[in-house]
Amino acid sequence: MKPVLVVGLGNALMGDDGIGQYVVDALVRHPFLPQQIDVIQGGSDVLRLAGAMEGRDHVVIVDAMLTRDPPGTVLVFSQEELSDRTPSVPHAHTFPAIQAIQLLKLTIPTLERAQFTVLGVAVERATRTARLSPQLTVRLPDILDRVAVELQHLVLQVAPT
């Protein structure tokens, strides 16, 4: 088991809401993906992935966020920021990943020591379509590069196991 897990969240049948899944699909083929990282698709239910998260030093969740930022902007929320700002952190779901993380840490003692980071990708809306908006399609390579940089920084901070 690798110390870092990256989970792509979202529903690919809801347009830009599926950006997390598009990112992890591309990330597994990215030439600079650090060896210490496992990457999985999470669908739209982060709670069902508790077993995959257990035993990890760090879990990174990539998810769509409804913000006023330009579509494709990657917003980074550390665990401290998630705890301090949960009500004000934008999200695209009725039960956002941020609240799911807090619930998982409360109910699964082995997840208490894991660090979590949310990489939110700014979207304007989710629509019922099986493709990304033109804005995100064009920005996908930049989004992927930004996520890869964040992961490389994170791996430098994670102690070897």
| Parallel, antiparallel or unpaired: strands 37-43 and 4-9 | parallel
What is the torsional sign of CA 51, 109, 38, 71? positive
Structure tokens at 84: 């301090």
CATH number where 73 lies: 3.40.50.1450
Residue 112's φ and ψ, nearest 5 degrees, are -60, -35
Average pLDDT per consecutive 10 residues, the chain (161 residues; last block may be shorter): 94 91 92 89 89 94 91 89 56 61 86 90 86 94 94 80 47
Name residue 122's beta-bridge partners: 65
**Predicted local confidence at residue 94, as pLDDT:** 44
Give the chain's domain count.
Answer: 1
**Predicted local confidence at residue 82, as pLDDT:** 67
Q: pTM (2 decimals)?
A: 0.87
Q: Which domain holds residue 85?
A: 4-157
